[in-house]
Structure 1
Amino acid sequence: MMKKPQALLCAIMAASAAIASTQSQAAAGLQHVTANSSASYAKTKYPIVFTHGMFGFTRIGFDSFGMDYFYQILPDLARNGANTFAAQVSPLESTEVRGEQLLSQVEDVLALTGQPKVNLIGHSHGGPTTRYIAAIKPEYVASVTGVAGTYRGSLVADKIQANKTINSVFGVLGDQLLAPIITWAEGNSSLPNSVDASLTAISEKGSAEFNAKFPTAALAANCNQSGAKVDNGVYYYSWTGTAQTTNVLDVLDTVISQLAPLAYGNRDNDGLVGRCSTHIGQVIRDDYNHNHLDEVNMVFGLRSLFSPDPVALYRQHANRLKLQGL
């Protein structure tokens, strides 16, 4: 838990960040974050496109008062020279449906920037969603980075679907309440949503079927092996955390981070996704002191005082891509 001076400093820095960067709708559903900066630490060759996970969004609210899914991450990258975009896909849908939505926005980015490729970064279900693009349009993709990606699925989804009562409640909350509110708040209420399709996609069973349909050497046969760093010209990277409760003030985090320990019967996960499931390509690290929402700096940056800054991890990764010539 942050002490008052630290909390004040963070608030000042966040306010400064909002002033120093600009967020705009570059195309339908596509958020473009820019900044006036001469820095080049994160200046990759190709633009970076972020994709959210289940129940995700680009931005809810307004520039003056709102919250990004990748909280403070895109503005920081923009101030360090990166050309950054956040895609808007259905909060709840199959990987293929979300993937086709993302493909349309990737093509918008290519048209807007004049670049032939993009670097894709996906969190949670955003991991397989970005991998879908690499599978069907590898010529568009320089790299795919998964942050707690559900590449082998999450047993949480299997358990929910196996319990009729919980599955019904989850369906009502998702299809009729949460997802419609999210898409309305984003200004894109026409986006389709399906809890059942979403749960199936991120389940262990559904993920295995997706991987069989779209195989890649970047995904190793098991967790004791390493996947290929480069497959079909696309570079693959991944990282994740293995923490659950990291800040008692972050109530939302604390609640959802108990689901995976209950499903798996262990704590080798980030509260929602098992560590093994997240491995693809070059595994940068798989034991950060982050839970599933800390990995994208939510909610409002609350996390353990002794954990690495998520914003810095993305900045460092952009530099990694830059040095790789991506």
Structure 2
Amino acid sequence: MQRNATTLYPILLVHGLFGFERIGPFELFHDVKQALKAVGVQVFVPHLSAIHDNEVRGKQLLGQIDSVLRGTGASKVNLIGHSQGALAARYAAAVAPQRVASVTSVSGPNHGSELADFLRKALIPGRLPESVAQNVATLFSDFLCLLGGTTALPKNALAALNALTTVGVGDFNDKYPQALPESWGAQGAERVNGVRYYSWSGVVPEMNLQTLDPVQGICRALSQYFITEPGQNDGFVGRYSSHLGTVIRSDYPFDHLRSLRRASTEPAGAADSIQLYVEHALRLQAANL
């Protein structure tokens, strides 16, 4: 029986690119939300644009934070952002630190995504060999199809993609540098302007015939397009690119989507990605957050 992990402030789970309350067979944050509720945490999932740039989504998040504060009477919130959701959370904390107790980045592209770089180049004729451009675009399309999404490019897709490239996130970081490491692969400041910062992420594990998870298979295929962090990425985000604030760990053996869900079958000894959120709630509780 798990101990009570009630935090002082509510937790908001902030989704990333293409995130919805539910995508096809996946209800994003379902396992995380249920696990946190089971240990007494007050938890909310804000609804942001599924496809837009970091600042637009961050401004939307600020509005959702205000709604939670009014509804609960709390003075602050704890933000846990998955993938691009980490950048929205960072924006909110930088602009309104008085409303944010902590920011936790889970598989967040805090220094950009090499996959986004490849996808962006694939849209420019001649920037990549045709076979490479076609392959990376097809793999990403297959990933969206597995999630039940659409392969049609929405109107704001280019803005979202630009915002996730290393150049786009670099521009974002110039404006909102809070808790970024001063050197590659290091940890960042634990606290900035009264806000605590944490991060964790994973790397795609070796093929496991016990699982045969199609999402993991695509993430493994996409991971080959990483040059700076080959073999040290989750298929979407590089291990060291994810570092922010106190780095809890950045090489958990799971792919980008497995950092917020359990696979249908888990091999013996596999890391429980959902339990990490419960452990983090206890961490926040111990820090009086």
| TM-score interval for Structure 1 and Structure 2 normalised by the shorter chain | 0.7 to 0.9
* 1:252 CA drift (Å): 2.2
Unaligned runs of 5+ in 2: 126-132
Match of 1:98?
57
3-state SS in 1 of match to 2:226: helix
Aligned residue for 1:253? 216
Q: 1:138 to 1:199 in 2, by over 3 A?
A: same
3-state DSSP of counterpart to 1:58: coil
Residue 261 of structure 2 is aligned to residue 314 of structure 1: no
Q: What's 2:29 paired with? A: 70
Q: Does the CA contact (< 8 Å) of 1:246 and 1:304 recur in 2? A: no
Aligned to 1:5: none
1:59 partner SS: coil
- Please give the per-residue CA displacement for 1:181-224, whole angstroms capped at 9, x wherever unaligned: 869xxxxxxxx8511111111111111100001221x1012224
1:28-77 superposed Cα distances (whole Å, 9 cap, x missing partner): xxxxxxxxxx976220000000011112112347xxxx632123111111
Question: Displacement, 1:244?
Answer: 4.2
Which residue of structure 2 aligns with residue 116 of structure 1? 75
Name the counterpart of 1:9.
none
How does the TM-score come out when normalised to structure 1?
0.75
SS of match in other structure, 2:231: coil
Q: Equivalent of 1:202, from 146, 164, 170?
A: 164
Structure 2 length as normaliser, TM-score? 0.85
Which letter maps to 1:201? A
Structure 1 residues 272 and 305, CA gap change in structure 2 (3 angstroms): farther
Query: Partners of 1:50 and 1:60 in 2: how far apart?
Result: 16
Note the 1:99-248 alignment, pairs <5 A.
Answer: 99-163=58-122, 164=124, 166=133, 194-216=156-178, 218-244=179-205, 247=208, 248=211
SS in 2 for 1:68: coil
Moved more, 87-96 or 262-271: 262-271
Q: Deviations over 1:237-284 (max 9, x none)?
A: 001111245554311221133223323271011121111111111101
Gaps of 5+ in 1: 1-37, 184-191
Sequence identity percentage: 40
**Cα separation, 2, equivalents of 1:170 and 1:103:** 33
- Larger mean Cα displacement after TM superposition, 314-323 or 242-251: 242-251
Partners of 1:199 and 1:140 in 2: CA distance: 28
The count of aligned residue pairs is 269
Instruction: Tell me if structure 1 keeps the 8 A contact 2:29–2:260.
Output: yes
SS of aligned partner of 2:6: coil
In 1, distance between residues paired with 2:261 and 2:206? Answer: 14
CA distance in 2, matches of 1:202, 1:251: 24
Change (3 A) 1:115 1:270: same
Offset at residue 126 of structure 1 (A): 0.8
Cα deviation, residue 162, structure 1: 1.3
- State the partner residue of 1:88: 47
Contact kept? 1:289, 1:304, Cα under 8 Å: no
Larger RCO (CA within 8 A; separation ≥ 6): 2
Give the Cα–Cα distance (whole angstroms) in 2 for the partners of residues 203 and 257 of structure 1.
20
CA distance in 1, matches of 2:91, 2:268: 36
Looking at structure 2, the residues matched to 193 and 44 of structure 1 have their Cα atoms a distance apart, in angstroms, of 39
Answer whether contact 1:71 1:301 (CA < 8 A) is retained.
Answer: no
2:21 to 58, 63, 77: 58
Please state whether the residue corresponding to 1:223 is helix, strand or coil: coil
Q: Find the residue that maps to 1:120 and give its secondary structure.
A: strand
- What code does the residue aligned with 1:213 have? K
Contact 2:5 2:278 in 1 (8 A): yes
Q: Measured at CA, do residues 224 and 311 of structure 1 come closer, stay the same or move farther in structure 2, by a change above 3 Å?
A: closer
CA distance in 1, matches of 2:280, 2:50: 25
Query: Retained in 1: the 8 A contact 2:204–2:219?
Result: no
Cα pair distance change 1:121/1:220, threshold 3 Å: same
Distance 1:170 1:289, change over 3 A: closer
* Change beyond 3 A, Cα 1:245–1:125: farther
